[in-house]
Amino acid sequence: MLAGIVEEGHHDPRDRSPRAEDAESLGPVQLRAWLQTYPNEEAGIDERWIREHRGSSATEEGIAQWREFIVAAKQRPDLLFCRVVRSGTEIVGFLCGRRDDMVVLGPMYLLDEAQGNGVGGRMMSEFLAWAGSAPMRLWVTEYNERAVQFYERYGFKATGEREIWRGRLPNVRMIRDSTSSDDLG
């Protein structure tokens, strides 16, 4: 079983704020989550398309971008949020976000083997505590019903705004206003 998220400074190696060296795992975990979640024949999204459009997250350049984000999040925890979830020593999921004019949630990914244990809810609770009462937004893939329902449980609502990412992936915007209850879940 996966443990809950712990605050920086605790000694649980399974879940915590990522270190710079964790960047080497985040891109591959992101790609693996995409391969598990997004294939959709109707949308024309298969393994080849995913590797073409998301494979860069696991390249040297993608890893460098993750490392830069992790370092920036450590320097500016008021503006950038990132937590990883581990099973043993392996990263099996993460949730990141940032503050702009409102709080932006994402990316958030959990590998299939990390789902259904409450880990996503614990990460979301920690994220909501970080975000406070600020209004929030995210994009979610329209046919990823499990994710849409997960976000709805935490007070996010679809706005009707849509985008087709890279000409194929149908995403919908969800928002959580500042009046949503902080203790949902």
- Under the banding of pLDDT at 50, 70 and 90, the label for residue 88 is confident
Residue 123's closest CA among 145, 95, 155, 100?
A: 95
- What is the DSSP code (8-state) at residue 100? S
Residues 100-110 have pLDDT tens digits of: 889 999 999 99
Higher pLDDT, 180 or 127: 127
Could you give the angle at the alpha carbon of 133 between the alpha carbons of 128 and 137, nearest 5°?
65
pLDDT recorded at residue 179: 62
Domain ranges of the chain: 15-176
pTM of the entire structure?
0.86
Mean pLDDT of 21-46: 95
Residues 6+ apart with CB under 8 A from 97: 80, 81, 82, 103, 104, 105, 106, 127, 130, 131
Domain covering 15-176, topology: Aminopeptidase (3.40.630)
pLDDT recorded at residue 13: 41
Residues 154-169 have pLDDT tens digits of: 999 999 999 999 999 9
Residues 16-32 have pLDDT tens digits of: 889 999 999 999 999 99
pLDDT recorded at residue 181: 52
